[in-house]
Structure 1
Amino acid sequence: MKSGVSKAEHVHSVFSRIARRYDLMNSVLSFQQHKRWRRFAMQQIRLREGADVLDVAAGTGDWTLALAKAVGPSGHVIGIDFTKEMLDVADVKLHKQPALVDRVEWIQGDAMDLPFADDAFDLATIGFALRNVPDVLTVLREMTRVVKPGGQVVSLELSKPEWPPFRAIYYFYFYRILPWIGGLAAGAKEQYAWLPESLTDFPPRLELEEIFRQAGLTEVRSYPLTGGIAALHVGRKMEDSPTHGDAGSH
């Protein structure tokens, strides 16, 4: 990241530039594992039909559209992202699935200050984006605030392998090989160099569990995926949980 540029500005620049190549590169760089991780996440959250769902940092919309299918015709899903170029790609995908158009809404906005009232959603999710935000705890508190008491907050994110030999091999790939693949396949070496950079200071799985609890969530559980290179975290807002912030200001 360039000196004098904030994390938010840098992330916006990165994803604006790679928006149209984002899906291809996700598949290439994760060896198609991200699709399997999302299926596992859907199994764990057990989303009911008719639910109101918020997908934070929705990106190009694959997970948002999967959620829309799960909630059925009586449900509603909002995908929020601060990068217009990513949402433009997501909207093209949505209109290729006409049955979902009436149950999905895109909003350009900030995960650090969600423009929604307290207790508005049954579920709030964030996928492969929590490591990119300026402050993890602030985003999780915002997600907790907008979820109804008893609702769930979910993060699916890259993580750090816990077995040292595998971690060493993975880090070599992630820090040395991945940016080179990004440059070769997408002409975006500088942008894909951000992926390992973004993970360096991101908390490992068990530390992120604790941050979930600090955000006001209970029944927190996490699952290491594919040797720990990704992790699913799930927490529930307490039935009598105090909200964070003033609903009247959102």
Structure 2
Amino acid sequence: MDAQSKQKHVHAVFESIAPKYDMMNDILSFRRHKAWRRFTMRKMNMQPGQTALDLCCGTCDWTIALARASGTGKTVGLDFSGNMLSIGQAKVNKQGLGEQIKLVQGNAMDLPFEDNSFDFVTIGFGLRNIPDIVKTLEEMKRVVKPGGQIVCLELSKPMWQPFKGLYYFYFERILPLMGKWFAKRKEQYAWLPESLQSFPDLPALAELFRSVGMRDVKAYPLTGGIAALHIGMKEKETE
């Protein structure tokens, strides 16, 4: 699948699954995605007033968590799916965060923001769906402030047996069936294992972070390596 075809396919998938997205995340990850996000927030150590851009924000759970951690800092969520953003906007409004959080429909490979705009730029469970990973990382680095953090929480590839075999059996065989049973979307949830096949594993993604000029890159395997957290820093400007 070429880049343009992938982009169109992924857009169609997420437009389709938006109404059941939150429920299916809980079911398919056995609610582990919530624990992964809490771990990530602890590692980020966000301070009051700091600003954040959340890419592929989807239905905005992480966007809202970032805004709450900041307290007063501007928080922006960006996604290419209008249906996902509509659900996210309803959550933002319900939480009374409409003044602090702005949602933007846009492309993670071509961010509509000035250089050095945010203290944090995050992406959760979205990088593997983007046709050009390196371009996206370069854009994240461009818009984060010097000394700011680039944060990626994503599915990954467990390396040790027998867990690896069990995981791939679940991910490739059982997960699409659960998508069919619970969301009536078997074909769309078959995309999840497909999207991981060519995605870099934990050390390879850490090397991509370094290749675009990020400093102090740290990578953390989560739940036996089925997910991973990567954090890199944009180099501070010299005096």
Q: Map of 1:204-215 to 2, 5 A cutoff?
A: 204-215=201-212
Q: Map of 1:75-154 to 2, 5 A cutoff?
A: 75-98=73-96, 100-154=97-151
Alignment partner, residue 245 of structure 1: none
Alignment partner, residue 33 of structure 1: 32
Deviation of 1:110 (Å): 0.2
Q: Name structure 1 gaps, 5 residues minimum.
A: 242-250
Q: Deviations over 1:40-70 (max 9, x none)?
A: 0000000011011100010000000000100
CA contact (8 A) 2:56 2:78 kept: yes
SS in 2 for 1:202: coil
Q: 2-side partners of 1:22 and 1:48: how far apart?
A: 30
Q: Map of 1:153-164 to 2, 5 A cutoff?
A: 153-164=150-161
Q: 2-side partners of 1:9 and 1:132: how far apart?
A: 11
Q: Give me the identity figure in percent.
A: 55
Q: 2-side partners of 1:236 and 1:172: how far apart?
A: 36
Large movers: runs of 4+ above 4 Å? none
Please identify, of 36-45 and 4-13, the stretch whose mean Cα deviation from structure 2 is larger.
Answer: 4-13
Which of residues 214, 217, 223 in structure 2 aligns to 1:217? 214
Q: 1-side partners of 2:143 and 2:161: how far apart?
A: 38
Alignment partner, residue 179 of structure 1: 176
Q: 1-side partners of 2:95 and 2:17: how far apart?
A: 23
Which of residues 177, 194, 201 in structure 1 aligns to 2:198? 201
Q: Deviations over 1:84-105 (max 9, x none)?
A: 000000011111111x221100
Q: 2-side partners of 1:103 and 1:8: how far apart?
A: 30
Q: 2-side partners of 1:215 and 1:117: how far apart?
A: 18
Q: 1-side partners of 2:234 and 2:162: how far apart?
A: 37
Q: Name structure 2 gaps, 5 residues minimum.
A: none
Deviation of 1:164 (Å): 2.8
Deviation of 1:215 (Å): 1.6
TM-score, normalisation: structure 2: 0.97
SS in 2 for 1:106: strand
Alignment partner, residue 43 of structure 2: 44
Q: 1-side partners of 2:191 and 2:127: how far apart?
A: 14
RMSD, aligned α-carbons: 1.3
Q: Deviations over 1:165-184 (max 9, x none)?
A: 21111000000000000001
AA aligned to 2:13 is: V
Alignment partner, residue 17 of structure 2: 18
Deviation of 1:240 (Å): 3.4
Compared CA separation, residues 5 and 209, structure 1 to 2 (3 A): closer
